[in-house]
Chains A and B, each alone.
Chain A
Amino acid sequence: MIDMDQAGAGYIAIVELDDAGVRVSKERVGTRRFAELLVDLEGKTSNPEVKEAIFGQQPADPDLVLAVTLTGLSEIESSLDVDRLREELMECFFFVRIVNRSHPKLANISAENYPPHTILGKFVRMMRERISESGDETERRIAERALQLGVNLLQGKEVLR
C-alpha cells in the first residue's frame, strides 16, 4: 500500500556504474500508483458531469489510488452527491478519496429572485443572513451548502438519496 500523498511511489532507482560513468534509471516495482486531481465544479450540476470531468483527466485504472478535490463555485441547482460519486468511482479505481472544497455560486441565489412572502423567499433571506454571520470557514461552508440544499429541496428537486 502506498500513502495518499506518495505521488510517484512504487519505483526504485537503478544505479549502474561502469567505465562510461554512472547511469540512474527509474524502474517500476509496485503495482499501485497515486494520482491527485482537481475538478472545478463550475458548470457541472450532476454526478455524470463530474465523472466525465474526472475521466477526462484520468482514465479508469484498477491500480490507481485517486484523490479528487472538488473546487470552484458549484452551481446552485447542483444535485451532486459526493458519496454516490465516490461509490461509482470506486468501481473504476483501486481507491478513491473525494474532498469537496467547492462553494455554491451564491451570486445566483439573490433574495430578489424569490418573492419574500414565499417559504423559499423567506428561507433564502434567512440563510443569507446566517451566512453573513458565519464565524469561520467551516461554519460558512455548512451554511452555504444548507442554502444550496434548501433551495433545491424547496424547488422540489430530488437532491437527497
Chain B
Amino acid sequence: VILKKLGLKRFACFQDFEASFEPGLNVIKGPNEAGKSTLCSALLTALFTNPKTTAQMHRLKRSWGSDEMYEITLEFQTHEGRSYRLVKDFEAGTSKLVCLDDGESIIDRDEVDAWLKELLGLGSEALFKSSAFIGQGEVTLMNSGEIGPQLEKVITGGGAGVASEALRRLDEAISEMERGLYRPATYPGDLKKIQDRIDELRSKLATIRKGVEEAERCRGRLIEIEEELTRAQDDLQIKRGLKEKCDKRAKIEDQLNDLRSREKQLEQQMELARQMEVPALGWPIAGLLIGGLLFVIGAIGALLTSGSLQLLSALMGFVGSVIVCTSFIWYRRQQERQQKVREAKSSLQELEEDRKEISRQRRDAEEKLEEAGLAQASLKPEEYERLTQEIANLEANISRLEEERIEKRTVVERAPYDVEDVHRLEEELAEAQQQLEQKRERHDVYQLAREFIAKAQAAAMTSAKPLLEERMSRYLAHITEGRYTKVEVDEKTLGFRVSCGTAMLSPIEDVFGGTYYNLSQGTIDQLYLAARLALVEIIAGGRYPPLIFDDPFVRFDAERMKRAMKLCLEVASKHQILLFTCRNDYDQFARHIIRL
C-alpha cells in the first residue's frame, strides 16, 4: 500500500490540511509542536477508527474551538496499481471508500474496515502499532497478545487468527457453560442451571415421595383399619350377642327360680291348707261348763259351808273360774283358728289358680330358654367376666380404630401430591439428567477441541519460530554490524534471547514485574526494530502496509542510525515508510521530504 495523499479538516491543530506522499522513504520534518504526532494519529485514525465512535479520546481530537467533528481523507494506491480514496466523516459517522479507477464505492463502515484490514494485512490498530508503527520511544512497545494470532495467519496460510479466535470462542463457550459451577454467579451457565434444576427436582421428589409414601401408607393402613374394624365389629357383635343371651338366660333363670320358688311355696300353702282341720270347740266348751260348774258348786259351797269345806268350796270356785277363763281364751283361739282354716280352705282355689299361672309362666320361661338357643348360653362366672372384658376391649379397639381411620383419611385427603406427581417428577428428573449428560458431553467436546487446537497452535507456532528468528537475526546483525548475530524467539511468549558472540542474553525480570536486557537502551531499541521489521514482513502475509516511524532512532549512535536507515531503505523498496522527525539527519536518505 502506498499512501498518496492525506487531507484533514478540523483535526486538532489542522483546520484544513493536505499532504502528498511518495513511494519509498518519506521524511516529514518539522520543529516541536509542528503537528508530527498529530499527523501520525490522523493516519492511524483514518486506517482503524470507526467514524461513529463517541470515545472521548477521539472527540478531543477536534480542532480547538470547533464544535464539529473532523473529516479525514486518505488517498492510496495498492500494489496492484489501483487507486482509492477513503473518506471518514466523524461528524456524520460515515465511511466511504471509492476506487478512483472505476468509481466503485463502499459505504458500509464494517465493509470498509474489513477491506482496509485485508489490504494492510494487519487486522487491528494494536497489531499495526506493534509492528508497522513506531512512535517516539515506543520501539519496545509491542503487544505480543496481538502478534500471536497474526503469526497463526502466516502459518495457516489464510484466515486472520483463526486458531486464536477458535480458542477464544471455545473459552467463551466453556466459560459460559461453567458459569456458576465453581463460584456463585448471578446468571449461571447451562451446566449449573441444569445441575440446580436436578438438585431442585431431587429435593422436591424426595419431599413429594415422602408425602406420597406417607399418604400411601395411610391408604394401606386405612384398608387394614377397615378390615380390622370389620373383624372387630363382627367379633363384638358375636360377643355382644352371646352376652345378651347370657344376660337373658340369667334373667330368665332368675325368673324361673322365682317362679319355681313361688310355685313351690304355693304348693306348700295348698298342701298346708289341705291338711288343715277345723279346730273343735268341744273341749273349750266342756272346760267352760266344767269350770262354770265347779265355780257354781264352789260358790254355793262357800256360801253354804264353812270351815274347810268352805275353803275347799272357795278353792273349787277359784279353780272353776280359772278353768272358765282359760277355756274361754282357748275357745276364742279355736274360733280364730277355725276362721283361719275356713279362710285357708276357702283360698285354696285361688292358690290353685295362682299356682297354675306361675306354673304356666315357668313353662313359658323354660320354653324361652329352649327356643332362643339359650340353653348353650351358659357361662361360668369367670367366663362371663372374661366375655365382658373382651367386649370392653373390643369396644375400645373399635373406638381407637375409628379415631385412627379419621386421622388417616385426613392425611390422605390433605395429601397435596399423589403417585402420578412422583412419576411426573421422576420423568422430569430423568429428562434433566439426560440433558445434563448431553451438556457435559458437549462441554467435554469443547474442552477436548480446545486442548488439541491449543496443542496444534503451539506446534505450528514452533514451526514459525525459525522464520522469525532468521529475519530478526539478519536485521539485528545488519544494524549492529555483526555484534549481535543470533536471536531466539520463545514461541509461547514471543520473548527474545539475543546472542553476543557465544553468550545468550535473556530478558531479566525486574522488581516491578517488567523485563530488561543486559544491553544498552539503544541496542534494545535496535533489537525491537529488527523484531518489528521481521514481524511486519511475516505477519502481513505478502501485503505491504506503510511503516510509520515517529522519530524512533533518537537513542541510536550515528553509525547504527546510518545502518538502520540503510536497512529502512531496503525495507522501503517494498513498504512505504513515513518517518516523522524534527532533525535533519534523515534528509540524505529521504526520497521525499515534507516540511511542516
| Residues of chain A having any CB pair with chain B under 8 Å | 1, 3-4, 82-83, 97, 99-100, 115, 117-120, 122-123, 126-127, 130, 138, 141-143, 145-147, 149-150, 153-156, 160-161
Contact in complex: B460, A119 (CB < 8 Å): yes
Question: Bound complex: CA of A141 vs CA of B437, how far in Å?
Answer: 13
Contact in complex: B155, A117 (CB < 8 Å): yes
Contact in complex: A97, B453 (CB < 8 Å): no
| Chain B, range 128-185, C-beta contacts under 8 Å to A | 152, 155-157, 159, 162-163, 165-166, 169-170, 172-173
Contact in complex: B456, A123 (CB < 8 Å): yes
Question: Bound complex: CA of A100 vs CA of B449, how far in Å?
Answer: 18
Contact in complex: B424, A146 (CB < 8 Å): no
Contact in complex: A149, B463 (CB < 8 Å): no
Residues of B within 8 A of A156 (CB): 159, 162, 165
Size of B's binding interface in residues, CB under 8 A: 35
Contact in complex: B155, A118 (CB < 8 Å): yes
Contact with A along B453-465 (1 / 0, CB 8 A): 1011101100100
| Chain B, range 429-464, C-beta contacts under 8 Å to A | 431, 434, 438, 441-442, 444-446, 448-449, 452-453, 455-457, 459-460, 463
Q: Specify the main secondary structure of chain B where it touches its partner.
A: helix
Contact in complex: A118, B452 (CB < 8 Å): no
Closest to A129 in B: B452
Specify which of A122, A142, A155 is in contact with B445 (CB 8 Å cutoff).
Answer: A142
Contact with A along B405-442 (1 / 0, CB 8 A): 00000000000000010011001000100100010011
Contact with A along B181-198 (1 / 0, CB 8 A): 000000000000000000
Contact with A along B99-124 (1 / 0, CB 8 A): 00000000000000000000000000
Closest to A161 in B: B173
Specify which of A97, A155, A160 is in contact with B169 (CB 8 Å cutoff).
Answer: A160
Contact in complex: B453, A154 (CB < 8 Å): yes
Question: Bound complex: CA of A152 vs CA of B466, how far in Å?
Answer: 28
- A118-B155, A123-B453, A160-B173 given; A142·B163 CB < 8 A: no
Closest to B462 in A: A122
Cβ of A123 to closest chain B Cβ, rounded Å:
4
Residues of A within 8 A of B172 (CB): 160
Specify which of B155, B434, B444 is in contact with A97 (CB 8 Å cutoff).
Answer: B434
Closest to A2 in B: B427
Contact in complex: A117, B456 (CB < 8 Å): no
- A4-B427, A120-B156, A146-B449 given; A153·B460 CB < 8 A: no
Specify which of A146, A154, A161 is in contact with B163 (CB 8 Å cutoff).
Answer: A154
Task: Tell me which of A99, A115, A154, A161 has the highest count of chain B C-beta atoms within 10 A of its own C-beta.
Answer: A154
Cβ of A33 to closest chain B Cβ, rounded Å:
16
Question: Bound complex: CA of A101 vs CA of B65, how far in Å?
Answer: 68
Contact in complex: A153, B453 (CB < 8 Å): yes
Closest to A144 in B: B445
Contact in complex: B166, A153 (CB < 8 Å): yes
Residues of B within 8 A of A99 (CB): 434, 438
